[in-house]
Amino acid sequence: MKKFYITTPIYYVNAEPHIGSSYTTIVGDIFARFKRMMGYDVFYLTGTDEHGQKIAQAAREKGVEPQQLCDELAQKFKELWRELEITNDYFIRTTDENHMKTVQYFVAKMMENGDVYKGTYEGWYCVPCETYWNEDELEHTEDGKHVCPSCKREVQLIKEENYFFRLSKYNDALLKHFRENPDFVEPDFRRNEMLKILESGLKDLSITRTTLKWGIPMPDDPEHVIYVWVDALINYVSAIGYPDDMESFNKWWPADVHLIGKEINRFHSLIWPAMLMSVGLPLPKKIFAHGWLTVNGQKISKSLGNAIDPREYVKKYGNDVVRYYLVRDIMFGKDGDFSEENLIKRLNSDLANDYGNLLHRTLAMIVKHFDSQIPGIGELEEIDKNLVENYEKTKRMYIELMDKYRITEALDVLWQFIGDLNKYFDETKPWVLAKEGNKERLGTILSLVTESIFKVATLVSCVMPNSSKEIYSRLSVSEAFSEKLLEGWNILKGNEVIHGEPLFKKIEKTQKEPEKVQQPQKQGEKTMEKQEKVAGQVGSENVVSVEELIDIDYFKKVDLRVAKVLAAEKVEKSEKLVKLQIDLGELGTRQIVAGIAQFYKPEELVGKLIVVVANLKPAKLMGIESRGMLLAAKKNDKLTLLTVSSEIEPGAKIS
């Protein structure tokens, strides 16, 4: 059986867990569940980091022993992961006896290989980040204080006898590995950051402290305590048996992916691989450094009081909704903002309207017209064959994207198919067939939609396991989620359906909002015409009058970016709309829909560098999601796109 070993960072226990620490763990759980569904033997590791100065300091402030603080907070992490239904296979604590023995063994082996020596360290140390910094890496306040470039807090000048790791010795080997394995660190802009450090040259690393006692003693020199980061990184091998159970270790190592936050990229992408090289162990296959999660635009911190407990949202909206929102609305790999308002929008639009409502009306018709038994799929017409072909393409793209850890894009692809499935339902008009008494054709359509929803539920089970289980239950399927259920059709024929409450309940707005023009429920000719008209209003159609002057702060809210057009195609059954795939650099790839087909051929657009509004709320045009808006100028009957010089990189911010 294929194996898959995935890890999260181990979390500091100087404070309680919050939505930020939960984010990586939820993402790790999604990938672990996906790989299990695809037939892999999975080991998913998470845990807590319990040594170091800031743990000792936090314990002192609470008036308890460090071990007591660690025990209390590690338990809170474990309880939270249980409540969030995280399927980790092991929870490691760095105060575990086996781990501490492994750390001493690992460091002793580094010493045996001549990679550790004694010297005097004089330099700057950040307690909150547990990080050593060189003078030239520090930032400075107006009053001349030295501050950490990561957390912006004041650093301490330290001078003490230390042991050092010959990190510089592995500079060339690491550089070679990075160049030969371009996917070793992702996203690519995080890899480039590490390459720049390597190209400027690594310096040896202090790996012990003598002024601190809360940590693992150095082998044969207990006056020295091993640097917390050296201790923490070794958890990835101690958790799977190194060095006592080499059968287990050899089964799982090397790790397939270390999921981390971008602020600890240097430790994982440079120091950890060098340590592994020192003891002769293979390097992990991939380090994926994702962005920071903010809350309503602010960085999560205790002082701001926004270190929210994810259980609040799970209780309010359900675990599946929170999980879906975190990976659909926030581009995985980039910085993202957790907004309750946006969560509600995703719940109402994607989950309640697009996904849940389709299931609800399909099962209602099976109950009414087929006595609750799923009919079989009969002879396929061209529209049916197109749906089946669309599913096969969607499945292939979804799996490929998930295998590449591009989870947000994978869900974009899947929800595009759900949009097409709703369109198929509306265009085949099963309610008309029911009135006409054409049960054979009606049965084929309802079966195809039901089996398509079943396949979607299987694919998305890693993200929303509870709703997928509920769909399985309503379709009388008792099997576990597996890759084999993604193949073939007519597999539900004869199953009894259980029609119940809507799968997702919409959240009604409590505040009165300006009245909006109601869209027709079915996407007929008038809806298409209206959407095309709106999409065509790019540029000078909406002119701000003198009375509507805006200030600079208002203008700053608009995120204008340079984008490169990767692909373009006309939208079927539309004279005006073009669907474009664009590259926004660090913001990733996106899809936008624009009403420019009368002015540009799709092939003319590919390769152009255009200007787009990157922070526009997603909208749907003819059932196709558009994430952004291009800028163009229009005069009389002529429209011209705003383009920029070829020297500008995609993603560049316009100000």
* Kind and range of the H or E run holding 104: helix 97-112
- pLDDT, one tens digit per residue, over 306-315 is 667 889 999 9
Among 595, 634, 633, 588, smallest CA distance to 614 is for 588
The answer, yes or no, to whether residue 556 has pLDDT greater than 70, is: no
Q: What is the per-residue pLDDT across 198-243, written as a single tens digit (0 to 9) for each?
A: 999 999 999 998 888 899 999 999 999 999 999 999 999 999 999 9
Distance, CA of 512 to CA of 640 (rounded, Å)? 39
Helix extents (H) in 5-96: 19-37, 53-62, 66-83
In this model, does residue 290 exceed pLDDT 50? yes
What number of helices (H) and strands (E) belong to the chain? 23, 29
Report whether 126 belongs to an annotated binding site. Answer: yes
Q: Which of 21-30, 275-284, 349-358, 501-510 has the lowest mean pLDDT?
A: 501-510
Residue 553: per-residue pLDDT: 58
Condensed to tens digits (0 to 9), the pLDDT of residues 365-377 reads: 999 999 999 999 9
- What is the residue whose two structure tokens read 């701000």? 544
How far is the first Cα of the chain from the last one, in angstroms, to the nearest whole number?
53
In this prediction, residue 542 has a pLDDT band, given cuts at 50, 70 and 90, of very low
Q: How confident is the model at residue 529 (pLDDT cuts 50, 70, 90)?
A: very low
In this prediction, residue 344 carries a pLDDT of: 95
pLDDT(545) > 60: no
Confidence of residue 647 (pLDDT cuts 50, 70, 90): low
How much of the chain is helix, strand and coil, in % rounded to 5? 45, 20, 35
∠ CA 528-534-540, rounded to 5°: 155
Distance CA 161, CA 605 (A): 63
Q: Which long-range contacts (CB under 8 A, 24 or more apart) does 189-194 make?
A: 189/585, 189/586, 190/262, 190/265, 190/269, 190/289, 191/269, 193/265, 194/265, 194/266, 194/269, 194/270
**Residue 246 to residue 240: CA distance in whole angstroms:** 9
Assess whether pLDDT exceeds 80 at residue 61: yes
Q: Check whether 532 has a pLDDT greater than 70.
A: no
Least confident of 56-65, 134-143, 355-364, 537-546: 537-546
Question: What is the rounded distance in angstroms from the CA atom of residue 27 to the CA atom of residue 86?
Answer: 10
What global pTM score does this model have?
A: 0.76
State the burial class of residue 645 (Cβ atoms within 10 Å of its Cβ: 0-12, 13-18, 19+).
Answer: exposed
Amino acid at 366: I
Cβ atoms of residues 600 and 577 within 8 Å: no
CA distances to 109, 122, 153, 234, 351 from 145, in Å: 39, 17, 9, 34, 50
Rounded Cα gap, residues 556 and 563, in angstroms = 19
d(CA 448, CA 388): 8
The average pLDDT across 18-37 equals: 94
148: confidence class by pLDDT, cuts 50, 70, 90? confident
Angle, alpha carbons 136-138-142 (nearest 5°): 115
State the maximum Cα–Cα separation within the chain, in Å, rounded to a whole number: 89
**Highest mean pLDDT pick, 47-61, 427-441, 597-611:** 427-441
- The whole-angstrom separation of Cα 263 and Cα 548 is 42
The full 3-state SS of 174-243, as one line of letters, equals HHHHHHHCCCCEECHHHHHHHHHHHHHCCCCEECEECCCCCCCEECCEEEEEECHHHHHHCHHHHCCCCC
C-alpha 324/C-alpha 343 separation (Å) is 9
Residue 170 has pLDDT above 50, yes or no: yes
Asked whether 51 and 234 are in contact (CB, 8 A), the reply is no
Instruction: Give the lowest-confidence range in 15-24, 151-160, 521-530, 591-600.
Output: 521-530
Residue 476 has pLDDT above 70, yes or no: yes
User: 129 among the known binding-site residues?
Assistant: yes
Percent over 90 (pLDDT), the chain: 63
Tell me what pLDDT residue 123 has: 75
In this predicted model, what pLDDT tens digit does every residue of 117-137 receive, in sequence order? 998 877 788 877 777 787 778
Q: What is the pLDDT, as a whole number, of residue 567?
A: 84
Mean local confidence (pLDDT), 415-439: 96
Q: Is 70 annotated among the ligand-binding residues?
A: no
For residue 304, pLDDT over 90 is answered with: no
The percentage of residues in the chain with a pLDDT greater than 70, rounded to a whole number, is 90
Q: How far is CA 611 from CA 335, 409, 485, 591, 632, in A?
A: 21, 22, 43, 14, 8
Instruction: Choose among 497, 585, 577, 571: nearest CA to 537.
Output: 577
Output the average pLDDT for the chain. 88
